[in-house]
């Protein structure tokens, strides 16, 4: 059995029917128990997140402001999954995959909310005085010593997943996007040396930032994330409104394709409903990370002491990532290509090049290539920074007494893998990322279900206090 076949087998297991039921089922269960908090308290969440974006916040030693904690986590979620990941889901699973991405986002809002609440509730101070938390800590401190083995399993998968979702997939997409832009100007970006050079540059930048720890990462993402999100959203909106006449066709294909892919893609393609569901949910989770257990690691470092006030940032993250940015990518891609009368090859992989083609119908080919290269590179770089933190925290937990040298070794290896990852093929990289994501999510989802009573109690206590509603 080849390495590619092994990866495919693990990917099929990690994102099979059982995993999809566990992932969506956990979000649905938490939604019901919380009274569909993501909808009934949506206004509260927006007022206390984006509504406070310009309010000055301070943080002490070993912690970051609530906004920095959110932007660090959002940096991890807003990545290549929003561009290359969404494109791949659509071309492999058909337009209907977008519908299932929305489903995963709607239930994922309360899943991530629960993760953040538990992370703040059960966090600890490490030897350096930093706040540390996440699934490994709320498993250990919330479920008790008899469940510590599950915490170690999460930490192990967190480390391995950081080399997939937070490393190789990101740098590969950066190299591909920049290569597409270089080619648009007549340059040669097809050789391995070019991709290695991109990997080296990314590795150097990441090394400089992560040496400064959570404080430096928070300071960088606080400035990078809002700027890159606004630039990309504006560009995508221009494409959408420039092809507004295609909106009916695109929305029709999305909803029809969700339950009957062959009606949209053609029977000869043979896209099954399960493939559409699998790719939509998998890429949705890859993008917004709800249920993976990664984002609460960043949120645990917040200076906020109220778990619910920090928890609503989780709702905002999923909304911004999947409902706003992923939807805009999907609409811009499909409307742009439909507007050009492009022949779409469903059932095949696709990367950022297809988004460039869609954008080039409104912008020139060169301008489109630059927009996607810059947007995707910033998205991916911010994700790499966040996942370097996540992997470091998992490493710290897993190795205990020898955490300091082990964590330093992890950071060195992480940067080296960035260089290697720039030369890997897109299909195998995404398969590895998907497989590791699924394995990482399992122990976290088990913990969320077992600790759901604690989450609901904290939530009810918070909202029963009228002072918190002001």
> For residue range 228-263, what is the model confidence (pLDDT) as tens digits?
778 888 888 998 999 999 999 899 989 988 888 776
Neighbouring residues of 121: CB distance < 8 A, sequence distance ≥ 6: 138, 142, 307, 454, 458
DSSP secondary structure, 318-344, as one string: HIIIIIIIIHHHHHHHHHHHHHTT---
Q: What is the pLDDT of residue 80?
A: 65
Alpha-carbon distance values, 393 to 60, 401, 448 (Å) = 19, 14, 19
Q: What pLDDT tens digit does each residue of the chain (470 aa) get?
A: 676 777 777 777 777 777 778 888 999 999 999 999 999 999 998 888 877 766 666 655 656 677 777 777 766 666 666 776 788 788 888 888 899 999 989 999 999 999 999 999 999 988 888 889 999 999 999 998 899 999 999 999 999 888 887 888 788 878 887 887 777 777 776 677 888 888 899 999 888 888 777 677 777 777 777 777 788 888 889 989 999 999 998 999 899 888 887 767 765 556 777 778 877 887 777 678 888 898 899 889 888 889 999 999 899 989 988 898 889 989 998 998 888 777 676 666 666 677 778 888 788 768 877 887 887 788 788 888 888 889 999 999 998 878 789 999 999 999 999 998 877 765 666 677 667 777 888 899 999 999 999 999 999 999 998 877 76
- Give me the pLDDT at residue 470, please: 65
Do residues 458 and 307 make contact, with C-beta atoms less than 8 angstroms apart? yes
Q: Taking a C-beta distance cutoff of 8 angstroms, is the pair 150, 454 a contact?
A: no
The predicted model scores a pTM of 0.87
The phi and psi torsions of 132 (rounded to 5 degrees) equal -130, 145
Q: Enter the DSSP assignment of 10.
A: H
pLDDT of the residue at 458: 95
DSSP string, 44-85: HHHHTTGGGTTS-----TT-B-HHHHHHHHHHHHSSGGGTHH
CATH of domain 3-463: 1.10.4160
Tracing tokens 């559409």 back to the chain, one arrives at 276
How many Å apart are CA 102 and CA 332, to the nearest integer?
A: 16
pLDDT of residue 428: 67
Return the closest-CA partner of residue 314 out of 79, 460, 118: 118
The three-state secondary structure class of 41 is coil
Beta bridge partners, 132, equal 124
Instruction: State the DSSP string of 99-157.
Output: HHHHHHHHHHHHHHHHHHHHHHHT-EE-TTS-EE-SHHHHHHHHH-GGGHHHHHHHHHH
Q: What is the DSSP letter of 412?
A: H
Spans of all domains in the chain:
3-463
For residues 254 and 343, the answer to whether their CB atoms sit within 8 Å is: no
Place of tokens 């499909």: 334
């Amino acid at each position: 059995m080849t390495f590619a076949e092994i990866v495919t087998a693990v990917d099929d297991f990690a994102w099979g029917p059982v995993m999809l039921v566990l992932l969506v089922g956990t979000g649905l269960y938490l939604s019901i128990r919380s009274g569909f908090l993501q909808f009934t308290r949506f206004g509260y969440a927006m007022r206390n997140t984006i509504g406070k974006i310009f309010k000055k916040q301070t943080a002490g030693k070993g912690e970051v402001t609530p906004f920095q904690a959110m932007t660090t986590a959002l940096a991890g979620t807003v990545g290549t999954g929003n561009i290359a990941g969404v494109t791949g889901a659509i071309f492999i699973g058909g337009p209907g995959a977008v519908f299932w991405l929305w489903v995963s986002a709607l239930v994922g809002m309360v899943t991530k909310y629960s993760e953040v609440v538990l992370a703040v509730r059960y966090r600890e101070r490490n030897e350096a005085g930093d706040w540390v938390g996440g699934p490994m800590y709320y498993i250990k401190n919330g479920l008790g010593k008899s469940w510590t083995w599950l915490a170690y399993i999460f930490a192990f998968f967190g480390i391995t997943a950081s080399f997939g979702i937070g490393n190789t997939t990101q740098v590969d997409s950066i190299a591909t996007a920049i290569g597409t832009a270089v080619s648009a100007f007549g340059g040669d970006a097809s050789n391995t040396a070019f991709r290695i050079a991109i990997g080296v540059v990314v590795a150097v930048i990441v090394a400089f930032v992560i040496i400064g720890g959570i404080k430096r990462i928070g300071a960088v993402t606080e400035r990078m994330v809002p700027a890159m999100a606004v630039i990309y959203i504006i560009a995508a909106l221009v494409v959408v409104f420039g092809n507004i006449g295609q909106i009916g066709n695109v929305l029709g294909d999305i909803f029809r394709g969700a339950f009957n892919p062959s009606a949209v893609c053609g029977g000869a393609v043979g896209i099954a409903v399960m493939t559409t569901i699998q790719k939509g949910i998998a890429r949705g989770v890859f993008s917004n990370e709800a249920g993976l257990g990664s984002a609460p690691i960043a949120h645990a470092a917040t200076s906020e002491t109220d778990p619910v006030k920090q928890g609503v940032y989780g709702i905002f993250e999923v909304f911004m990532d999947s409902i706003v940015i992923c939807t805009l990518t999907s609409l811009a891609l499909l409307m742009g290509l439909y507007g050009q009368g492009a022949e779409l090859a469903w059932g095949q992989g696709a990367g950022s090049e297809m988004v460039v083609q869609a954008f080039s119908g409104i912008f020139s080919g060169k301008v489109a290539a630059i927009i996607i290269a810059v947007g995707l590179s910033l998205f991916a770089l911010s994700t790499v920074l966040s996942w370097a933190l996540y992997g470091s925290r998992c490493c710290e937990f897993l190795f205990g007494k020898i955490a300091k040298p082990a964590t330093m070794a992890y950071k060195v290896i992480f940067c080296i893998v960035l260089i290697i990852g720039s030369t890997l093929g897109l299909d195998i990289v995404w398969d590895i990322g998907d497989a590791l994501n699924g394995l990482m999510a399992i122990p976290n989802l088990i913990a969320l279900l077992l600790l759901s009573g604690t989450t609901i109690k904290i939530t009810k206590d918070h909202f029963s206090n009228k002072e918190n509603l002001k």
